[in-house]
Amino acid sequence: MNRREFLSWVGVGTLASSLPVAIAACSPDANQAPSAQSNPPANSAPPPPPAEVASAAAKQFQVVGTVAELDKKGQILNKKLAIGPVLVVRNPADPKSVLAVNPTCTHNGCIVEWEKDEKYFQCPCHDSDFAADGKVIKGPAKQPLKTYEAKIEGNSVLVKVL
Ligand code: FES
């Protein structure tokens, strides 16, 4: 084999060995759906959030009781949440929704009670009154009750804990 034949042989070999790589680079990925390769139209809806994001949003709310329990007792008091005690009542302005407060009185730390007929929270220690949204109606308390986002889903009452 002379030099010219050798170089020609090496060149054909190199081309032949790199051909599968070149073909693979130009062909679509077998694991990827064809629709995922194309760019979406400019006016299409954004893709749904990844499962981790939806899961994190769901974890922000924690079940504190049932709607049946809420309607039977007129309130749900849960003292086992990481955010502290939570008292949930139906929203007097919209009974389909719920309101949640930290029932710890801002005057001296007693636990307020929901007066369901009068629709306000009352402190049994020094008689402070708080509206359903936690605002002070009557002192000696000066600061409102801390409030939390709450909702009803199905038969469950949930409070946002994050
Ligand atoms: S502790 Fe509630 S009014 Fe004093």
For 33-63, the pLDDT digits (tens) are 444 444 445 555 556 555 555 555 667 999 9
Instruction: Give the confidence band of 116 by pLDDT, cuts at 50, 70, 90.
Output: confident
Question: Rounded CA gap, 60 and 41, in Å?
Answer: 33
Q: Is 80 helix (H, G, I), strand (E, B) or coil?
A: coil
Cβ atoms of 92 and 142 within 8 Å: the answer is no
Q: Which atom of ligand 1 is nearest to the CA of 127?
A: 3
Question: Rounded CA gap, 68 and 73, in Å?
Answer: 9
Q: Does the CB atom of residue 108 touch ligand 1 within 6 A?
A: yes
Q: Does the CB atom of residue 81 touch ligand 1 within 6 A?
A: no
Cβ atoms of 144 and 129 within 8 Å: the answer is no
How many angstroms is it from 135 CA to the middle of ligand 1?
Answer: 14
Asked whether residue 19 falls in the same domain as residue 84, the answer is no
Question: Rounded CA gap, 53 and 75, in Å?
Answer: 31
Q: What angle do CA 22, 15, 20 make, to 5 degrees?
A: 35
Asked whether residue 141 falls in the same domain as residue 71, the answer is yes
- Position 9 scores a pLDDT of 52
Asked whether residue 136 falls in the same domain as residue 71, the answer is yes
Of 117, 145, 141, give the one whose Cα is nearest residue 131.
145
Q: Determine the structural domain holding residue 14 and report its residue range.
A: 3-28
How many angstroms is it from 126 CA to the middle of ligand 1?
Answer: 4
> How many residues are there in the chain?
162
- Position 36 scores a pLDDT of 42
**CA-closest residue to ligand 1 atom 1:** 108
Instruction: Give the confidence band of 121 by pLDDT, cuts at 50, 70, 90.
Output: very high
Asked whether residue 137 falls in the same domain as residue 72, the answer is yes
Q: Which atom of ligand 1 is nearest to the CA of 105?
A: 2
- Average pLDDT, stretch 18-24? 44
Instruction: Give the confidence band of 19 by pLDDT, cuts at 50, 70, 90.
Output: very low
- Position 78 scores a pLDDT of 93
As for how many domains the chain has, the answer is 2
Higher-confidence residue of 87 and 11: namely: 87
Q: Which atom of ligand 1 is nearest to the CA of 139?
A: 3
C-alpha 32 chain-centroid distance: 30
Would the pLDDT of 104 be above 90? yes
Instruction: Give the confidence band of 82 by pLDDT, cuts at 50, 70, 90.
Output: confident
Asked whether residue 101 falls in the same domain as residue 150, the answer is yes
Asked whether residue 103 falls in the same domain as residue 150, the answer is yes
CA distances from 146 to 16, 43, 113, 127, 133 (A): 74, 42, 14, 18, 9
How many angstroms is it from 134 CA to the middle of ligand 1?
Answer: 14
- Position 156 scores a pLDDT of 94
Question: Rounded CA gap, 85 and 44, in Å?
Answer: 44
Instruction: Give the confidence band of 81 by pLDDT, cuts at 50, 70, 90.
Output: confident
Asked whether residue 156 falls in the same domain as residue 117, the answer is yes
Q: Which atom of ligand 1 is nearest to the CA of 140?
A: 3
Segment among 49-58, 90-99, 130-139 with least mean pLDDT: 49-58
Question: Rounded CA gap, 86 and 107, in Å?
Answer: 17
